[in-house]
A = this chain, B = another copy of it.
Amino acid sequence: MRAIANPSFLIHHHHQPAVASAVFRSIRHRLPLLFPPSIIKVSAHSTSTSSAELDNAPTGRSSSLASPPVQLDIVQQRIDVNPPKGTRDFPPEEMRLRSWLFQNFREVSQLFGFEEIDFPVLESEALFIRKAGEEIRDQLYCFEDRGNRRVALRPELTPSLARLVIQKGKSVSLPLKWFAIGQCWRYERMTRGRRREHYQWNMDIIGAPDVTAEAELISSIVTFFKRIGITASDVGFKVSSRKVLQEVLKRYSIPENLFGRVCIIIDKIEKIPIEDIKNELRSAQLSEEAVEELLQILSVKSLAELEEKLGSSVEALADLKRLFALAENYGYAEWIQFDASIVRGLAYYTGIVFEGFDREGKLRAICGGGRYDRLLSTFGGDDLPACGFGFGDAVIIELLKERGLLPQLNPNVQNIVCSLDQNLHGAASSVAAKLREKGQSVDLVLENKPLKWYVMMVLGGVFRRAARMNAERLVLVGSAEWQNGMVRVKILSSGEQYEIKVDQLE
């Protein structure tokens, strides 16, 4: 290894980007074209030939004498370069953020001993049809496929989970602790910047009847928040139990089969005027007295007050008290609060329900979940105690932006390898291969131009690329050094430069 005193050909990468950029642009248009452009511009009257037609073509020579319409390879069209309405592309900078988020979801899930699962993004429509006026039902992204089957892009992951649990039957030992990160779709009107797809992190526990399961789920979300820099002063969880409502319905002899529908109505309590809520409850056969009592109960914000109203013996109260006691043990008591108005918008919840919210009140719910002990039987399976949550990828990113907590995620590569002579690209390839074999990441420069272009264009571009990719070092393959089996190395953080034998590169 030998330091280079004054390597005149090494220009500093903070210089000349504008010149290099201009040259780069100009060469784009001098690339060899396989066809002259005129050939691929064709009229809209072109006809296609399906493979079926081809298969049925006559087998004799006469077919080539026939005069079929001109066949065209490629139809030029101006496509919409944006992704379909309500969907997203993930160019590298967006993908880094998504990968960072998913990695945190995964690591937290694994910290809690959960195993990852997934399901098809396209499911039978029947899986999602529940007759309880749910918003999710009205927004189903559904189709008829080529085999005339009704299918839907999944709006949530829980029904697929239930399907898989029933399918697995007794072959799995309980409790199951499973997590998934999957894309979900809702055909919403495109208001307030809401998209039609999002990714959702789910954690579910199947086979644990006790509120210890809900406590564990909330703990995992708190762990996730802490990990990404969100504190109890940023977010909290509103917690309640659907058994509170159930108790009220029972006292007014309201049929239990109205339960899901009443929950769906009440879930809208912060979104539509209270008079509309009342009317919906009335039209669901609740008496005026029941409606008033229900709304009274929903305004309760403490367990003491709830106990005062419902008495100390109700099941809902015991569950909630245990959950709040466990929160003390876990150390997240300051994150949760009782709020009877929380019921969640899915028909299938049966017990504890919870919702993560931002304390400034600017954003929609960050996540939500609860116990759904009766879901499996709605699909014809044997019920199992179950609880879980869904945590979307949209609101959390908005929150991180608001709080200035978005991580700085840069691309990075350890080495940029570049030949200084067009005849040395093969040598540079072998250097890249050797480094990669040692586990070193390498961005190999693929431009291959004569040396006279080098200083102005390639190396200028290479330095820009090195800066953008946060490369650690530049490995240059030049003919003088290469004859001695050497390459030149420039450490980009310090500017240190030296020559080294290829085999000694680590």
CB pair A132 B74 closer than 8 Å:
yes
27 A-B pairs with CB atoms under 8 Å apart are: A31-B383, A34-B350, A49-B133, A50-B133, A50-B137, A51-B135, A57-B279, A64-B282, A66-B283, A68-B285, A75-B129, A75-B378, A77-B378, A79-B380, A80-B126, A81-B167, A83-B120, A84-B120, A84-B151, A91-B168, A111-B442, A112-B436, A112-B441, A121-B183, A175-B446, A328-B426, A330-B430
Q: Which of A140-148, A358-366, A479-487, A490-498 binds B? A: A140-148
- Taking a contact as CB atoms closer than 8 A, the residue among B81, B216, B258 that contacts A71 in the complex is B258
CB pair A54 B133 closer than 8 Å:
yes
Residue of B nearest to A116 (CB): B95
How many copies of this chain does one complex carry?
2
A25 to B170, CA, bound (A): 8
Q: Which residues of B contact A381 (CB under 8 A)?
A: 81
CB pair B429 A374 closer than 8 Å:
no
A442 to B451, CA, bound (A): 59
Known contacts A57-B283, A64-B285, A183-B121; A49/B261 CB under 8 A: yes
Give the contacts of A429-467 with B (CB-CB under 8 A): 429-430, 432-433, 436, 439-444, 446-448, 461, 464-465
Residue of B nearest to A42 (CB): B257
User: For the complex, is A115 an interface residue (Cβ under 8 Å from B)?
Assistant: yes
CB pair A73 B261 closer than 8 Å:
yes
Q: Which residues of B contact A298 (CB under 8 A)?
A: none
Q: Which residues of B contact A66 (CB under 8 A)?
A: 283
Q: Which residues of B contact A143 (CB under 8 A)?
A: 143-145
Q: Which of A207-215, A229-237, A302-310, A389-397 binds B? A: A207-215
Residue of B nearest to A196 (CB): B122
| Contacts A90-B117, A113-B469, A216-B429 known; 5 new A-B pairs at CB < 8 A | A28-B384, A54-B280, A79-B127, A99-B116, A113-B441
User: For the complex, is A503 an interface residue (Cβ under 8 Å from B)?
Assistant: no
CB pair A115 B133 closer than 8 Å:
no
CB pair B46 A131 closer than 8 Å:
yes
